[in-house]
Structure 1
Amino acid sequence: MGVTPTAPADPADPAVPAVPPARPAVLAIDAGNSKTDAALIAADGTVLGTGRSGGFQPQRTGVEEAVDVLGRAVAEAAEAATLPLPLPGGGRGAGPGALYADQVSACLANADLPVEERQLADAIGARGWGSATRVFNDTFAILRAGLSGGEPPRGVAVVCGAGINCVGMRPDGRTARFPALGQISGDWGGGGGLAAEALWWAARAEDGRGGPTELAAALPGHFGLGSMAELIEALHLGALAQGRTHELVPVLFSVAAAGDAVASAIVERQADEVVALASVALARLDLLEEEAPVLLGGGVLTAGHEQLDERIAAGLARRAPRARVSVVSAPPVLGAGLLGLDALGALPEAHGKLRAHFG
């Protein structure tokens, strides 16, 4: 988690807009690869305004441009909350001097290492949106959103969306986490990994290097193509955008559900990865012998794939028999908001009101 203080704006400086006397307590931000949500929240848990903008990808766009994307969601939330809306730099979004809240609580995709959290906390803190800024990896938002009440977080969350990640927390501040940087950090799965694995097996089935699988017909058929050779050519030459391969994940699960052995093996491997992440995180936090929540989030794990869900449940029953498994369907910005209220020592009633709004 990265934390940075923000120097208070000088109210005597005419370049600094006046701060409303009853500004929100928390500016909550949840930023994923495809979208960013922001919410301004009062100390009693009332949501004063929300906003949305595009995906947060600092590794592609650079940190400042990525934070500009956050700024557009923040500006929209501020407008909805009827707060002053400075737009310096040609209208690129909320900027320096826009002190919107006491606490900025930002849960961000691609903040995979503590050093990245600190760097992003510094960059966001420099915008002056809050008196203090705390940055977490976005998996912490799923963890906090799935835990009820106002008590400090305790449990483990696994997110399987475009990629895969896992974090855990204890009330004493201890955390468990993984780099989640892909193959170089030992990760496998998520939508991108599942699609790539399905394509690999389908290609080999068609050309004879691998065993037969219905994926060889189903994957190209999804795009109206007649063979894997046509699909490979379309992806390689750009006739079909690489980004569309995520559409193949539901196809994979459908083929697996129909009994295809190759597709089923891929689904089972994904389930085993989820179990491994959760059980190792529980062990690191000394929670294997205690009743503790394991929260599942992200598009792959919230889609209700019976084969996947049953194997995860069975695997955790063996490796972490006291784990309580549940799926988190609440929006992650709720978790960012709850983390902000935690930092301010808000009453449990405030947590309940915020949860009710997003429930």
Structure 2
Amino acid sequence: MGTRVGVGTSGAVDGAEGPAAGRGSVLAVDAGNSKTDVAVIGADGSVLGAARGGGFQPPVVGIEAALGTLERTVERAAAAAGLPARGLADQVSACLANADLPAEERDLAQAIRARGWGRDTEVRNDTFAVLRAGLPSGAPPRGVAVVCGAGINCAGLLPDGRTARFPAVGRISGDWGGGSGLSEEALWLAARAADGRGEPTALTRTLPGHFGLDSMYELIEALHLGRIPFEGRYELTPVLFETCAAGDAVAASVVDRLAEEVVLLATVALGKLGLLDEETPVLLGGSVLAARQPRLDGQILELMAARAPKAVVGVVAAPPVLGAALLGLDRVGADARAHARLAAHYA
């Protein structure tokens, strides 16, 4: 699969203090479920400072606690740039996990604006960071991105600002896939195989074996009683792919279902934007899709060729914080040299 390489809320910050990175500078934030990357970008596209912090999960810990974690990461990035966090940049460009609905984007933008990190603030779902990171600079942004990491989401964008989006808040919004969905499906299938209700599969051996256990019963007990923390089940997604690669038919059925879901999201988004019959980038990102699993890649390409033959499928290898930073540079009207310098830094 070859590699080809924004809906927001903005507002002025009152009373921003201290020296900033300069007019046209950007504070770029890519906050995912498991980690957050922050970068201070000069108006010329140079990276002045950067920091990595923990995941951004307002639904789990609340907005204020999640923003507190983010604030500490911003402060470390500002310190790396030799600047105070308040009034740090001209533009805050924040691409955030769990900002799945426009109402959530508005609420998070207001909360971030109150921190006074920049003169203007724009918040988008983190899928837009992957989309922008994979699109060429200098051309109006146009394409579709599917992101599969801890969860799964898709977004499409036209140069006039129109978007195609999905609520992507879990099962109640029709979602399936991501590390959480894959691990749960693998556990479900393995449990049923182990007690005779399901088709035999090597997952009954490989899943408990990952934790040094001998049976699915032991694994179920350890998960249920908390001897293995809840987050530990996400470690089983790579095990699922390894079991598939070894020739297990049940594991392969899960991988094939994920390919179907990725292509369904992409083609629905293309259709909503009127791009099914036009050559359009379809960009894949997130830890699951960026892992370049052969069967998953092959199935996605085959299905896309049948359903959207003009789509140009690629995998975004660049870190999503690049996309957040490029969106910020777009917003402040940076020139092509700034975009090129920034892209070269993350190449």
TM-score range, shorter chain: over 0.9
Q: Tell whether 2:306 aligns with 1:318.
A: yes
1:114 counterpart letter in structure 2: P
**Partner secondary structure for residue 4 of structure 1:** coil
Match of 2:178 in 1: 190
CA contact (8 A) 1:158 1:295 kept: yes
CA distance in 1, matches of 2:12, 2:295: 48
The aligned residue for residue 268 of structure 1 is 256
- Within 1, Cα distance between the matches of 2:189 and 2:20? 59
1:17 CA drift (Å): 4.2
Compared CA separation, residues 77 and 24, structure 1 to 2 (3 A): farther
Paired positions, count:
341
Contact 1:23 1:100 in 2 (8 A): no
Task: Give 1:355 deviation, angstroms.
Answer: 0.5
The alignment partner of 1:235 has SS state of: helix
Equivalent position of 1:156 in the other structure: 144
Q: Give the letter aligned to residue 13 of structure 2.
A: A
Alpha-carbon distance between aligned partners in 2 of 1:20 and 1:119, rounded to the nearest angstrom: 25
Partner of 2:3: none
What secondary structure sits across from 1:49 in the alignment?
strand
Matched, 1:248 2:236: yes
Whether the aligned pair in 1 keeps the contact of 2:24 and 2:332 (CA below 8 Å) is no
Report the counterpart of residue 309 of structure 1 in structure 2: 297
> What does the per-residue CA deviation read over 1:182-234, in whole Å, with 9 as the maximum and x for residues that have no partner?
11111101111011000001000011111111111111111111111110000
* TM-score for both structures, normalised by structure 1: 0.92
Amino acid at match of 1:67: L
**Is 1:328 equivalent to 2:334 in the alignment?**
no
Q: Structure 1 residues 327, 20: CA separation in 2 closer, same or farther (over 3 Å shift)?
A: closer
In structure 1, what is the equivalent of residue 51 of structure 2? Answer: 51
Matched residue, 1:12 = none
Q: What is the aligned partner in structure 2 of residue 175 from structure 1? A: 163
1:29 partnered with 2:29: yes
Larger Rg: 1
Residues in 2 aligned to 1:339 and 1:211: alpha-carbon distance in whole angstroms: 48
Give yes or no for the alignment of 1:143 onto 2:131.
Answer: yes
- Specify the alignment match of 1:342 in structure 2: 330
**Rounded Cα–Cα distance in structure 2 between residues aligned with 1:216 and 1:263:** 11
Counterpart AA for 1:175:
T
Structure possessing the higher relative contact order (Cα contacts under 8 Å, 6 or more residues apart): 2
Other structure's SS at 1:167 match: strand
**Which residue number in structure 1 is paired with residue 94 of structure 2?**
106
| Alpha-carbon displacement from aligned partner over 1:244-302 (angstroms, at most 9, x marks no partner) | 11111111111111221111111000000000000110111111111000000011101
Matched, 1:7 2:5: no
- Choose which of 205, 212, 220 in structure 2 pairs with 1:217: 205
Contact 1:52/1:72 (8 A) holds in 2 = no
Amino acid corresponding to residue 136 of structure 1 in structure 2: R
CA contact (8 A) 1:279 1:319 kept: yes
**Alpha carbons 2:30, 2:129 under 8 Å: kept:** yes
Which amino acid in the other structure matches residue 228 of structure 1? M
Question: 2:41 corresponds to which residue?
Answer: 41
Q: What SS does the aligned partner of 2:10 have?
A: strand
Q: Residue type of the partner of 1:29?
A: V
SS of equivalent residue, structure 1 residue 301: helix
* Residue 349 of structure 1, CA deviation: 1.3
| RMSD (CA atoms) | 1.3
How many Å separate the matches in 1 of 2:146 and 2:95?
A: 15
Aligned-pair CA distance for 1:23: 5.8
Mapped partners of 1:48, 1:112: distance in 2: 30
Instruction: String of CA shifts for 1:143-194, please: whole Å, max 9, x gaps.
Output: 0000112223100000011110000101010100101111111110111101
Native 8 Å contact 2:24 2:334 kept in 1: no
